[in-house]
Chains A and B, each alone.
Chain A
Amino acid sequence: MKLSHFFRILRTIILFFICFTFKTYAVENIDERVKNLTLELRCMTCQNQSIYDSDAEFSNDIKKIVKLKFQEGKSEHDIKKFLVERYGEYILFRPLMNYNNIFLWVFPFILLIIGLFFIIIKTKGKKA
């Protein structure tokens, strides 16, 4: 059997599983949402530590604020916006996808596409 067959089977399996995973990936309670969000926020008074991991006073305050806002029914996006207005973009460990950061986000995938093309062009017409 050729390897390309092997990869085809593998791809099918992976796609199959990904479909399944979306079904089970829905419900989250508030504590989990707080955790997921605060993991991506920088504790401004610590050295490169996330708010979730930190026990500094600053972090504990932010954790409370985030929890409160979630209980009020605000979305993650709203809370982030609120925090950025107050503390600046520095607080976000995951840089926003805006005009300034577009290069940051796109660059790796541009490289990936270039790499992919390189492989395809080099292997073309050489099938054994």
Chain B
Amino acid sequence: MSSLIGFLSLALAIGINFYLLISRYVFKFQKQRFKFFVRVSSLLTLLSFFSLMYAYVTSDFSNYNVFQNSHSNKPLIYKISGTWGNHEGSMLLWLCILSIFSFFFSFTKNIEENFQKLTLIIQAFLHTLFSLFIVFTSNPFLVNSILVDEGLGLNPILQDPGLAVHPPILYAGYVGYSIVFSIAIAGLFQNTDNEWLYVAKKWSLISWTFLTGGIALGSYWAYYELGWGGWWFWDPVENISLMPWIAGLALVHSLMMVRGEQAIKKWIVFLSILCFSLSVFGTFLVRSGILTSVHSFAADASRGIFILLIFFIITGFGFLVFLLKEPKKSNTLNLLFINKVSALVINNILMIIATLTILLGTIYPIIIEVLYNKRISVGGPYFNSTVIPIMIPGFLLMSIAPILSWQTNKIKNSKKYVLGFIILSILVFIQSYLLDFNTWGFVGLLLGFWIVLASIIAIFSYYKVKLNLKYFKIINPHIAHIGVGIAIIGITCSSVFQNELDFNLNEGDKFKVNGKMVLFEEVETTNQINFQALRGKFLFDIEKNKSKKIEAGKNYYPVSKMITSEAGILHQWNKDIYFILGDQKNNEWFVKVLINPFVSFIWLGVIIMVYSGLIAVTRR
């Protein structure tokens, strides 16, 4: 029943959107009516999504999709998240978020009516494309042809709270760029004043913030669920999310130039189209299954062609309009070595190079396979030795960029900065000389600390401290950059200075980690609702009274016959101690302990970036 409601409302939503699309030529609405229909179609799409969710929650196995991807003994949260834990459902989620964005956009005030209408028409066009894709190739509402009373179960690796919320937030980022895309195209058609740039800025910040949160959640999940001890693997699917993120960052920065009346409309429109194209292209690569990755559970080759088609339609349409309706030549840029304008231009160039490099590295194995029928890998080492060096000048620049002036290349208090930089370099140098010296570690630490230090100098020497919202809005760019600096420190420490210890242990053995005694108590097997858990129990720091319990082990999911590893992590502010329980051999357990210094700084940095993304949305 719920499937039927879901399908009907989806079909109705397609009808309305198609109608909106041609309404310009066939039936002309009054403007209020037009918005009304946009909202109705959004609500219908939402209804369709929730009826699928309802089918999942009630374990309605007459729905083929539910039968394939759910099981009645799962906890409720995974029944809900199971809705998007599969291809069909996740595409419906994608569509749903698209229409939520249209819904909210239809309420935007202080924007020209015709402009808003045109944007919504382009949104309707995207909605129609994707909903046709869902109906024809990945319908989640198909009826199960046989009567069953149990489903096949959800991929256990997805049964995790982090991964339950990761897809919606990530999608909100990806799909949010659809609005930016529509605004940019509408801007090309109407070529009015610069007012639309402010609207585009707001929405691109919203999408970027969501995307940041989504990527961070994903890598946090990878950190504790995959049990490999790292949090970023340059996995193709990670790269795919990183491309629109960097391009989006370039977009946000180039939209900043509006404030100095230096905006390059052409470039902004180009970036807007690029961001959404990359999002759709990412969807194509993930869904088509031509990539080897931890995400390949969601793959099916036949659908790839359809998404590829959509990708070509959207990108082709976008760039065609871009070429035909080129924006009027904007004012010439006031580029000096080095003022705010040139800093922003350099930032954009570097980010685009990084994006294109990641794109090339991600699709290069596919190209080689097609051309030479040979399989190669392009992995972490490639990206580390191309993308990171390219970004380093950008990192240096970002420490001082927010206080540069639009007009001149003078900088106030420059002596403070030079002095600060010299002292800092000496300190970091001594620090890294005393510990293991590592070039990357040195560069990373220096950059990270320098960004934080320079931003703090700038905040205190430029603005009077006040505790109101306006003050926080003004210093917001610095705060965002401090977030990046902190994240760089965390990234450097946790990857360069990671320490690994291997043990072969009997139950009851004691061993030393980082100067603290650890007791390996016992290994225990328990039965949970839908899995069996094998847990090695450790007591950390037994010499003190407040010793901490850590459990590391594996889960076995009988429904899908899969084993997942569950790392035991002891979080401290300056390091994570990461326990992995290996296999048992000759009555001894293999235990791997990783000491990851300053991992928490990465998440702290991300939280700061998300915070300043939110603050920036409220600033004009």
> Do A and B actually bind?
yes
Using a CB–CB cutoff of 8 Å, the interface residues on chain A facing chain B are 1-7, 9-10, 13, 17-18, 20-21, 24-25, 39-40, 42, 47-50, 53-55, 88-95, 100-101, 104-105, 107-109, 111-112, 115, 118-119, 122-123, 126-128
Given the complex, which residues of B lie within 8 Å of A123, measured CB to CB?
A: 335-337, 342
Given the complex, which residues of B lie within 8 Å of A18, measured CB to CB?
A: 439
**Interface SS, B side:** helix
Which of B418-460 touch A at CB < 8 Å? 418, 421-422, 425, 429, 433, 437, 439, 442
Q: Let me know if A112 and B345 touch, CB within 8 A.
A: no
**Does B257 belong to the interface (CB within 8 Å)?**
no
Closest to A18 in B: B439
Give the interface segment out of B129-137, B138-146, B409-417, B471-479.
B409-417
* Contacts A/B (CB < 8 Å), 29 sampled: A1-B415, A3-B337, A3-B409, A3-B414, A6-B417, A9-B422, A13-B422, A17-B425, A18-B439, A25-B437, A39-B381, A42-B377, A47-B292, A48-B292, A48-B293, A50-B380, A55-B590, A89-B374, A90-B376, A95-B378, A100-B372, A107-B360, A108-B360, A108-B387, A111-B357, A112-B353, A119-B342, A123-B335, A127-B336
Q: Let me know if A10 and B437 touch, CB within 8 A.
A: no
Given the complex, which residues of A lie within 8 Å of B376, measured CB to CB?
A: 89-90, 92, 95, 100-101
**Given A6-B418, A93-B377, A123-B336, A47 contacting B296 (CB threshold 8 A):** yes
Q: Let me know if B349 and A6 touch, CB within 8 A.
A: no
Q: Let me know if B228 and A53 touch, CB within 8 A.
A: yes
Given the complex, which residues of A lie within 8 Å of B236, measured CB to CB?
A: 48
- With an 8 Å Cβ cutoff, the count of chain B residues facing the other chain is 63
Closest to B415 in A: A1
Closest to B414 in A: A1
Q: Let me know if A9 and B336 touch, CB within 8 A.
A: no
Q: Which has the most chain B C-beta neighbours within 10 Å: A9, A10, A104?
A: A104
Q: Let me know if B293 and A111 touch, CB within 8 A.
A: no
**Given A48-B235, A48-B294, A17 contacting B429 (CB threshold 8 A):** yes
**Given A88-B375, A94-B379, A94-B381, A127 contacting B415 (CB threshold 8 A):** no
Using a CB–CB cutoff of 8 Å, the interface residues on chain B facing chain A are 228-230, 233, 235-236, 292-294, 296, 333, 335-338, 342, 345-346, 349-350, 352-353, 356-357, 360-361, 364, 368, 372, 374-382, 385-387, 390, 396, 408-411, 414-415, 417-418, 421-422, 425, 429, 433, 437, 439, 442, 582-583, 590, 592
Q: Which has the most chain B C-beta neighbours within 10 Å: A10, A25, A48?
A: A48
Given the complex, which residues of B lie within 8 Å of A107, measured CB to CB?
A: 356-357, 360
Q: Can you add 12 more A-B contacts, CB < 8 Å, to A10-B396, A111-B353, A119-B335?
A: A1-B411, A2-B409, A3-B411, A4-B338, A17-B429, A17-B442, A40-B381, A47-B292, A108-B356, A108-B390, A111-B352, A122-B333
Closest to A104 in B: B364
Query: Measured between alpha carbons, how far is A93 from B375 in the docked complex, in Å?
Result: 11
Q: Let me know if B349 and A47 touch, CB within 8 A.
A: no
Given the complex, which residues of A lie within 8 Å of B429, measured CB to CB?
A: 17, 20
Q: Let me know if B292 and A91 touch, CB within 8 A.
A: no
Q: Let me know if B335 and A122 touch, CB within 8 A.
A: yes
**Given A104-B378, A123-B342, A55 contacting B336 (CB threshold 8 A):** no
Given the complex, which residues of A lie within 8 Å of B442, measured CB to CB?
A: 17, 21
Query: Measured between alpha carbons, how far is A72 from B377 in the docked complex, in Å?
Result: 28
Q: Let me know if B337 and A93 touch, CB within 8 A.
A: no
Given the complex, which residues of B lie within 8 Å of A20, measured CB to CB?
A: 429
Given the complex, which residues of A lie within 8 Å of B350, measured CB to CB?
A: 115
Given the complex, which residues of A lie within 8 Å of B335, measured CB to CB?
A: 119, 122-123, 126
Given the complex, which residues of A lie within 8 Å of B590, measured CB to CB?
A: 55
Q: Which has the most chain A C-beta neighbours within 10 Å: B336, B356, B583?
A: B336
Q: Which of B296, B372, B386, B439 contacts A108 (CB 8 A)?
A: B386
Q: Let me know if B437 and A49 touch, CB within 8 A.
A: no
Q: Let me know if B437 and A24 touch, CB within 8 A.
A: yes
Least CB distance, A7 to chain B, in whole angstroms: 8
Least CB distance, B85 to chain A, in whole angstroms: 17
Query: Measured between alpha carbons, how far is A108 from B352 in the docked complex, in Å?
Result: 10
